């Protein structure tokens, strides 16, 4: 097979290298296209554009495969803790017992927030959007650690920045919830695991320490593991774009939080529950909503369905669907929204509109029901996604520096006015 792609333009031929990834995926390297031909490519939304070479996460959307550093998501979800998964994503290998001990120690050490940072919470309205606070606070953390504001991609500087962010995102998230609920902040407890510590900071009260059941702790762990990375999604690409200007890690991930916020990305987990609640409250059949999503003149979409990359089942949604069943059963709970979700899935899988467009449930479809079972309030769902995605953002930020990625700077085709002369104010109509 040829290792060159040949392009014919205005009667002239140009050759471009073909590169093959380790899983056989192929790209045409058009780095010199504009220089050689004067043309650029147009790919709105970057659906066919590779922006980097990466060793971190592999997704095969046609087959529904997801792997972190070569390990299938099913294997990691079954066996690894979130802390082990974060280490794997950051450093490329599963940690040895010593490495895990030292990494967990660093997470414990960096869990407390600086007292002055704590004061910033008190100036915010109690209904401030949690994602706005999270983004701002993550950026602000850097103000208290000027030693790691420079770009560190290896050694102690990187280890500290990574541990600090992974740990502080959890404390900030829990305190955002406490602030909104008008409750006192709980300091982190270094004797607890990553997930138990988060749940303690969220739910312990002065005279009643919250001790999560193993089922709840495991469910939270699974949620975070499944969100840990997903290659060049909107928020991770944002982190890489911001980082490509050589911006520091804190500002890069805080931009990632903002990108995640939108309902087409991480905000979909909140939107799914809102949609299921609306269906429940309306008393209307789910087919009404399916028909609304199909109608050409209606902008309504079934939240939690469809994916830019997966044209088959999202493997995370399969794991989550089973986890939701198991957790509700183990906790002896029932959730009427789960019945609506199951019916929606069943009906869409049999519907030609969804079949023709390969629209399957994505990670956000069942994750909200799991978060409800854990006791997380709705306005915190996307914040939970951000805690989970932190290892992926950090690893991608590091990788772009290690690969010396050029500053991200796409081109455009200009469709505005041609040259015009300034019109003095009195002559404008
Ligand atoms: N409900 C109904 N129709 C849909 C949906 C949906 N959820 N998603 C896509 N379509 C239709 C869309 O109208 C279009 O139809 P047509 O070809 O007739 O114009 C076709 O499917 C292709 O859609 P697209 O918008 O071109 O696809 P995209 O790759 O640009 O968008 C998506 C992907 C995830 C933004 C989109 O499927 C969507 O809006 N889904 C709902 C929001 C959601 O669940 N987001 C979470 C994504 S997964 C986790 C994450 O990234 O955080």
| 320 Cα–ligand 1 center, Å | 20
| 181 Cα–ligand 1 center, Å | 34
Annotated catalytic residue, options 227, 314, 364, 401: 364
| 230 Cα–ligand 1 center, Å | 17
Can 364 be counted among the known catalytic residues? yes
Does 264 contact ligand 1 (Cβ within 6 A)?
A: yes
Question: How far is Cα 224 from Cα 221, in angstroms, rounded to an integer?
Answer: 5
- Helix 214-226 vs helix 315-330: crossing angle, to nearest 10: 170
Annotated catalytic residue, options 229, 307, 314, 401: 307
pLDDT tens figures, 382-400: 999 999 999 999 999 999 9
Nearest atom in ligand 1 to the alpha carbon of residue 260 is 52
Q: Mean pLDDT across the stretch 260-288? A: 97
Question: How far is Cα 173 from Cα 252, in angstroms, rounded to an integer?
Answer: 18
pLDDT tens figures, 218-247: 999 999 999 999 999 999 999 999 999 999
pLDDT tens figures, 272-285: 999 999 999 999 99
Best probe residue, ligand 1, of 131, 234, 306, 341 (max atoms within 8 Å of C-beta): 306
Residue 2 confidence (pLDDT) above 70: no
Does 268 contact ligand 1 (Cβ within 6 A)?
A: yes
Q: Which domains can be identified in the chain, with CATH numbers?
A: 4-41 (no CATH), 66-260+380-402 (1.10.580.10), 268-374 (1.10.230.10)
Can 307 be counted among the known catalytic residues? yes
Residue with tokens 């749940």: 199
Backbone phi, then psi, for 208, in 5-degree steps?
Answer: -145, 100
Nearest atom in ligand 1 to the alpha carbon of residue 362 is 48
pLDDT tens figures, 85-101: 999 999 999 999 999 99
This prediction's pTM: 0.95
Residue 1 confidence (pLDDT) above 90: no
The confidence band for 154, taking pLDDT boundaries of 50, 70 and 90, is confident
Instruction: Rounding to the nearest 10 degrees, give the CA dihedral for residues 47, 52, 57, 59.
Output: 30
pLDDT tens figures, 163-189: 999 999 999 999 999 999 999 999 999
């Amino acid at each position: 097979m040829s290792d060159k792609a040949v392009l014919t333009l205005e009667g002239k031929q140009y050759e471009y290298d073909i590169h093959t990834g380790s899983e056989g995926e192929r790209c045409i390297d058009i780095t010199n296209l504009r220089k050689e031909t004067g043309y650029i490519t147009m790919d709105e939304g970057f659906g066919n554009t590779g922006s980097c070479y990466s060793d971190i996460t592999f997704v095969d959307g046609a087959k529904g495969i997801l792997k972190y550093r070569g390990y299938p998501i099913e294997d990691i979800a079954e066996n690894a803790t979130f802390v082990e998964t974060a280490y794997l994503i950051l450093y490329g290998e599963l940690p040895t017992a010593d490495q895990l001990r030292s990494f967990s120690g660093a997470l414990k050490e960096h869990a407390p927030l600086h007292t002055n940072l704590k004061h910033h919470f008190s100036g915010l309205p109690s209904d401030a959007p949690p994602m706005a606070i999270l983004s701002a606070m993550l950026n602000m953390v850097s103000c208290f650690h000027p030693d790691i504001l420079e770009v560190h991609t290896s050694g102690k500087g990187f280890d500290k920045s990574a541990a600090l962010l992974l740990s502080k995102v959890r404390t900030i998230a829990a305190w955002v919830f406490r602030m909104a609920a008008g409750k006192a902040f709980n300091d982190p407890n270094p004797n607890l695991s990553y997930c138990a510590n988060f749940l303690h900071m969220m739910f312990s009260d002065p005279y009643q320490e919250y001790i999560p059941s193993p089922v709840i702790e495991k469910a939270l762990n699974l949620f975070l593991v499944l969100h840990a990375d997903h290659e060049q999604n909107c928020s991770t690409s944002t982190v890489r774009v911001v980082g490509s200007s050589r911006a520091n890690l804190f500002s890069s991930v805080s931009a990632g939080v903002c990108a995640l916020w939108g309902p087409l990305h991480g905000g979909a987990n909140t939107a799914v529950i809102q949609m299921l609640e609306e269906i429940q409250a309306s008393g209307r059949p789910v087919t009404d909503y399916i028909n609304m999503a199909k109608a050409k003149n209606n902008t309504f979409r079934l939240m939690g369905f469809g994916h830019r990359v997966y044209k088959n089942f999202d493997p995370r949604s399969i794991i989550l669907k089973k986890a939701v069943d198991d957790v509700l059963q183990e906790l002896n709970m029932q959730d009427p929204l789960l019945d609506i979700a199951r019916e929606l899935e069943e009906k869409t899988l049999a519907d030609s509109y969804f079949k023709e467009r390969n629209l399957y449930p994505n990670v956000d479809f069942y994750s909200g029901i799991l978060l409800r079972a854990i006791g997380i309030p709705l306005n915190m769902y996307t914040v939970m996604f951000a805690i989970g995605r932190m290892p992926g953002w950090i690893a991608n930020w590091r990788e772009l520096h290690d690969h010396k990625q050029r500053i991200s700077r796409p081109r455009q085709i200009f469709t505005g006015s041609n040259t015009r002369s300034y019109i003095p104010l009195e002559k404008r109509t």
